[in-house]
Amino acid sequence: MLKKIIKFIKSFSTPLLLTVIALILFFGLFKNEIQIWKFLNWPSYIEREISYDDKCTKKESNPEYWTRYGEILKECPYKINSKYELNEKEREECIETKKKEITSPSFVDKEYICKQTRKETWFYAFGRYWFKK
């Protein structure tokens, strides 16, 4: 029986075993401090939602590009009862060639401050508290 247990333990990789031992030691050495912190800062044993501000970028349409694109659509007409009729293929070619003249991008990245929320358990909250010391 003992040989089977030793064989089972040896089957694990060394880093995994060391990690488990480190966690056992951590919780063994700092058990009282963890319990005091949980009592003072985390009265409930459920997950909490925390919100924080974060910089994020959003794509917004560039008005310069779209006004110029509207002008291009007027320059390449597609009307049934007009003198300057273009079929679909000719119109698409006209738009593609004139589109290359536009130098500004169609969408621009703008930075905002976004509120983000995430769920946090007491374990991660204690980790943030521990490393801020």
Question: d(Cα 133, Cα 120) in Å, to the nearest integer?
Answer: 19
Cα 7 versus chain centre, distance: 43
The per-residue pLDDT for range 44-103, each reduced to its tens digit, is: 656 667 777 778 888 888 888 888 888 887 877 765 555 656 677 777 888 888 888 877
Is 88 domain-assigned?
yes
Is 127 domain-assigned?
no
pLDDT value at residue 44: 62
Is 115 domain-assigned?
no
Write down how long the chain is: 133
* 107 within 8 A of 59, measured Cβ to Cβ: yes
Binning pLDDT at 50, 70 and 90, where does residue 131 land? Answer: low
Question: d(Cα 116, Cα 37) in Å, to the nearest integer?
Answer: 25
CA distances to 17, 20, 26, 40, 98 from 23, rounded to whole Å, are 10, 5, 5, 23, 65
* 91 within 8 A of 78, measured Cβ to Cβ: yes
pLDDT value at residue 74: 80
- Domain, as residue range, for 6: 1-29
Is 4 domain-assigned?
yes
Question: How many structural domains does the chain have?
Answer: 2
pLDDT value at residue 29: 74
